[in-house]
Amino acid sequence: MTTIIDGKQLAKKTNEQTKMEVQHLKEMGITPGLAVVIVGNDEASQRYVRNKNKTAQRLGINSKVIELADTITETELIDIVQQLNDDDAINGILVQDPLPTHIDERKITRKIKPEKDVDGFHPYNVGKLFLDDTTNYPVACTPKGIMTMLKEYNIDLLGKKAVVIGRSAIVGKPMAALLLNAGASITVLHRYTTDILEYTKTADVIVAATGTLHLLQAKSIKQGAVIIDVGQNIDETGHLVGDVDYDDVFDRAGYITPVPGGVGPMTIATLMQQTVELTKWGLNSGK
């Protein structure tokens, strides 16, 4: 019998825990602060930022949204990031992608203080992740949220074969690192992989994050596999779907995330959770 991994319900549970943490901090006279910088008028990005802002406010987090024209220079954007670095009321900084082509996204990421890098993209934090460092550091929110989902459903990763499809810095690479750190054996597939079925048909866990409609079908997986779908696609009927052919795969999977209602809600919930964690870690470090 297939188990649906309910991201909406788990996000609600996570947000409730975060709200309690925020209330506890406020009783100490501390309000966690999150700053989101968005450049340009990308509709999907603006919708995502609105959802982040709304969730933060609902949980009691001080949410600051900085909207900038796509004509801003790289130097001007760096100056704004530096101001947020120096603002003691801000514990987490996120610069929403995509950025205009005249701005080097990696350069902007490197300008964010590692201890305020709520997205977990700074090379310093990525290095800690791949080293499986035992100190506190932020991790990319989507992969971290997926690990929360796997833990919630008591999915054991030790010694399991895990396949990550996609090698982006946002999902694929940090996801592979987290799974490896959890004791799984990892294979990362990408656009140059000649035959993905060679790897997916024997995998215990598959994380699909490519933005390719119907990438995985029932013939692509083994019976009882855990299927985590990070894809965001619009199908021929205009509906939001993932990388996985959900209806075809459903009866063959052991666990599966739906789209929508799976990974997506946990990404935002994890962002809020990590904002609070950054706040607490800052206190513990004496800052």
From the candidates 6, 96, 116, 229, give the one annotated as an active-site residue: 96
Whether residue 271 contacts residue 59, with contact meaning beta carbons closer than 8 Å, is answered with no
The verdict on whether 133 is a catalytic residue reads: no
The verdict on whether 232 is a catalytic residue reads: no
The verdict on whether 23 is a catalytic residue reads: no
Burial class of 195 by CB neighbour count within 10 A (0 to 12, 13 to 18, 19+): exposed
**CA atoms of 248 and 26, how far apart (whole Å):** 48
From the candidates 111, 116, 117, 119, give the one annotated as an active-site residue: 119
Tell me which residues are annotated as active site.
52, 96, 119
